[in-house]
Amino acid sequence: MKKYIAVVDYGMGNLMSVSKALEQVYNNVVVTESANKIKNASAVVLPGVGAFCDAFCNLDKRKLIKPVIDSVASGKPYLGICLGLQLLFTESEENGKWPGMGIIEGKVKRFPKTLKLKVPQIGWNRINFKKNEELFSGVKNGAFVYFVHSYYGMPTNKDDIAAFTEYGIKFPSAISRGNIIATQFHPEKSQNTGLRILKNFVKRV
């Protein structure tokens, strides 16, 4: 069977821009809402923008939560982008208290209301590496990437943090654990730096 990367379609997010960016660095990318195609993929990418609760409910309605969790548990490469990072967590405090997939223990939090900066954070900011992660091979520490978010994931195990960013507070902007890679920023909107990160991801496939 020919290898392919499955980009999970759950009715939310920037599927077109993510798939087009991936197609620049990999020759077989499939946008799908099929549990079977996710199961048989060589790697899984979960993108998304919008509210955590809506995203989780959409995944649940399409019966895609278990296929994604099973894919991660099988050891195949996983890339979460923005909401695709947040959905990994145990819970989110966005619009109440909502359960996530529980793959990464921790909580999705909002930027503090006392923050003297505009929320959501929209635009370019620096990523600072916390550990030597092959995802960032060839990327300069302190490189600029593109963010659009009001919430961020805080892992219970700080060893899961791959990079952090300063926006009034220091928050995790990338996490990694084994086959799991996830970014709060948008590689597909981060020009050459983002493409380099995607190239590094597809080396795992």
Supply the pLDDT for residue 1: 67
β-sheet bridge partners, residue 182: 80, 175
| Distance separating the N- and C-terminal Cα atoms of the chain | 14
The first and second tokens of residue 63, run together, are 């019966």
Q: Amino acid identity, residue 202?
A: V
Span 93-152, pLDDT tens digits = 998 899 999 999 999 999 999 998 999 999 999 999 998 788 999 999 999 999 999 999
DSSP label of 63 = T
- Is the pLDDT at 176 greater than 80, yes or no? yes
Cα radius of gyration (the chain): 16
Query: What is residue 111's three-state secondary structure?
Result: coil
pLDDT for residue 11: 86
Mean pLDDT, rounded, for 28-47: 97
Catalytic residues: 82, 186, 188
> Which tokens sit at 52?
């955590």
At 166 the pLDDT is 98
Contact 83, 45 (CB under 8 A): no
Helix (H, G, I), strand (E, B) or coil at 13: coil
Supply angle C-alpha 12, 16, 21, rounded to 5: 125
What whole-number distance in Å separates Cα of residue 99 and Cα of residue 101?
A: 7
Sign of CA dihedral 159, 180, 197, 13: negative
Domains and CATH numbers, the chain: 5-202 (3.40.50.880)
The overall pTM is greater than 0.85: yes
| 101-to-31, 85, 171 alpha-carbon distances in Å | 21, 10, 21
At residue 67, the pLDDT reads 97
